[in-house]
Structure 1
Amino acid sequence: MEGFYEEVIGSRSFASIWYWIVFAVVWTRTTHWTLGVPYEDVRNANAIGDQHLLDLETQMAINVRKTLAVFEANSVFLTASAAFLLATVFMLGFYFDIQMMQAVFLLVFPLTIVSALSVHLAQRLRDEDMHGDRLIKAYVWHRRVKQAIGALSIFFAAFWGVSQTLFSPYAAGL
């Protein structure tokens, strides 16, 4: 029975099913929600219009204000903290060869890029005062970019994980 627990809950990140479950859930949630608005609200606004479009515009306006209020008040601190944490995780993972930190970096770094793109979208929505079809097109375009980043992230993490698993000194013991 002990072998079962070692197999299911292992400390080797890339060989653990839990890492890939977390990876899939994080990217699914990330691509489904943009600036706090779920994709089905955009789909309904595009298909039905009327009240759904008004609700979408209201939700987006509220979430853009909230996002920019937090970011603009704390941008230096948030950017410095993110840079420090990413650099620390990168060094621990790739310089000191700690596989758990490699796995964390391969999950968090693309999410940081997506977060920066979301702040940029919020600034663009505020500055250009988008409504209706332009708002929906901007949302859909941003979602597609997030999906592309997520797909590349999953591909690269899987490639790196397989290479780490196959070429690690402990691979012969599997």
Structure 2
Amino acid sequence: MRSFSNLWFWIALAVMWSSVSHWVLGVPYDMIQRAKKLGGQAELDLQDMVRINVNRLLYIANVSGLVLLTVVSFILTSLVILAFLYDVEIAQAVFLLAFPMTLVGALSLNTAKIIARDDPQGEALHKRLSSHRVATQFIGMISIFVTAMYGMYKNLAVGVWL
């Protein structure tokens, strides 16, 4: 169960953050770029896609937000206890994948609430989605750095004790 020395863990980390930074509130980033560049029908498609995904996120949050918060809190707390109290390496790896994703989820929910409240159109919508993407990429950059440093530490520490 050596997670940090496994190539598949690092591939999963890269794919996860690549996908998360490409899909902004469920909208592919190239669609945002196309709407910015072309306008017209591409802009209308973007606004429809954002409206659908924002309404979907807010509906899920309103209907089952408390249950989801409870379950996610339980899972993260269990992972922290297993990972850092009992020193289970796979729990450490899963926590380092899951915790930043909860931050991205909270950021997405906040952005969805702002978009639903303000109803931005055109350039204002592009700016809001782009700032959400930059914040997501920042969380990803910090997460990858922390995971890489911790993974190197664990690999070196295990190598010393063998």
Q: TM-score range by the shorter chain?
A: over 0.9
Shift in Å at residue 43 of structure 1? 0.2
Report the secondary structure of 1:137's partner residue. helix
Count of residues in correspondence between the two structures: 162
TM-score under structure 1 length normalisation: 0.91
Q: Give the CA RMSD over aligned residues.
A: 1.0
Paired position in structure 2 for 1:93: 83
Report the secondary structure of 1:13's partner residue. coil
Paired position in structure 2 for 1:121: 111
Q: 2:11 aligns with which of 21, 24, 31?
A: 21
Q: Which amino acid aligns with 1:116?
A: A
Distance 1:89 1:78 in 2: 16
Report the secondary structure of 2:82's partner residue. helix
Distance 2:147 2:67 in 1: 29
Paired position in structure 1 for 2:68: 78
Distance 1:171 1:29 in 2: 35
- Structure 2: where are the runs of 5+ without partners? none
Identity of aligned residues (%): 38
Q: Which amino acid aligns with 1:99?
A: E
Distance 2:5 2:160 in 1: 10
For the pair 1:132 / 2:119, whether they are aligned, the reply is: no
Q: 2:41 aligns with which of 51, 56, 63?
A: 51
Distance 1:171 1:62 in 2: 53
Shift in Å at residue 35 of structure 1? 1.5
Paired position in structure 2 for 1:67: 57
Distance 2:156 2:114 in 1: 45
Report the secondary structure of 1:90's partner residue. helix
Q: 1:3-42, aligned counterparts within 5 Å?
A: 11-42=1-32
Q: Which amino acid aligns with 1:139?
A: L
Which has the bigger relative contact order, CA under 8 A and spacing at least 6?
Answer: 2
Shift in Å at residue 171 of structure 1? 4.2
Encode CA deviations 1:68-104: one digit per residue, 9 max, x unaligned: 1111111110111111100000110011000100000
TM-score under structure 2 length normalisation: 0.97
Shift in Å at residue 172 of structure 1? 5.7
Encode CA deviations 1:30-76: one digit per residue, 9 max, x unaligned: 11001210000000001111111111001000111111111111111
Which 4+ residue blocks in structure 1 deviate beyond 2 angstroms? 170-173
Q: Which has the larger radius of gyration?
A: 1
Paired position in structure 2 for 1:109: 99
Encode CA deviations 1:103-129: one digit per residue, 9 max, x unaligned: 000010000000010011111100011
Distance 1:145 1:171 in 2: 38
